[in-house]
Amino acid sequence: MSEPFSIAIITGSPVRPSRVEGLAELMEQRLLREGFRVRMLHVRDLPAKALLHAEFNDPAIKEATRRVAQADGVIAVSPVYKAAYSGMLKAFIDLLPQFALRDKVVLPLLVGGTTAHVLAIDYAVRPMLQSLDPRLIVSGLFALDKSIEVGEGPVKLCPEVATRLEQITQAFIDGLRAHGSFTNAAAAVEGLTALAG
């Protein structure tokens, strides 16, 4: 039996609670139901000095980057600031190695206050993630903050956003499974090549 997929969910919101965190929690619950291993990484919990001064050897930074390295899939969740991702998320992404997302399936999720920012995924987030050489970036989701209800109880989404989130989550899962098949096939080919040699 193959190992379950490992997922790292990175959140770039500086505050708690937040709609970004609520959306990330919904994704975590959904993927856990699929039997995946999910690790949440809130960038705001990393040491601010180490993050801003790019202290690569800081233990917390090393652990965070290790989680990303070990993941099969990465989900980046951020609020929209100035028509792009948060500076906090960018600060962490800048600490990752050049090809940190190689062979990984990636899903971007953004939360913003106006539909004027709906293109931020394509014009800001996707190019940033693409620079880290992922195998696949799934079409992301932009959600208006008013469509996410965060309070004392469970996080609630408006029906339209809930439907769209399920669709892109399934696309992410399908991408992981296809990637797993590719990886297994590549490993088999390498094994046969070694035997032939």
How far apart are the C-alpha atoms of 90 and 95, rounded to whole Å? 9
Q: With H, G, I as helix, E, B as strand and everything else as coil, classify residue 41.
A: strand
- Is the pLDDT reported for residue 99 higher than 50? yes
Q: Is residue 154 one of the residues assigned to a domain? A: yes
Residue 150: is its pLDDT beyond 60?
Answer: yes
pLDDT tens, 168-192? Answer: 999 999 999 998 754 443 443 343 3
Per-residue model confidence as pLDDT tens digits over 1-55: 468 999 999 999 999 989 999 999 999 999 999 999 999 999 999 999 999 999 9
How many separate domains does the chain show?
1
Examine residue 160 and state whether it is found in any structural domain, yes or no: yes
Q: pLDDT > 70: what percent of the chain?
A: 90
Task: For residues 87-111, give the mean pLDDT.
Answer: 96
Calculate mean pLDDT across residues 133-159: 94
**20: in domain:** yes
- For residue 151, what pLDDT is reported? 84
Give residue for tokens 């800048």.
94
Cα gap 163→38, rounded to integer Å: 22
Q: Is residue 1 part of a domain?
A: no
Give the CB-side neighbour count of residue 78, counting CA atoms within 13 A.
29
Question: What pTM does this model have?
Answer: 0.90
CATH number at residue 160: 3.40.50.360
Average pLDDT over residues 90-116: 96
**What is the residue-averaged pLDDT of the chain?**
90
Domain range for 26: 6-196
> Is the omega angle on the peptide bond into residue 17 within 30 degrees of 0, that is, cis?
yes
The single-letter code of the amino acid at 156 is K
| Residue 73 lies inside a defined structural domain of this protein | yes
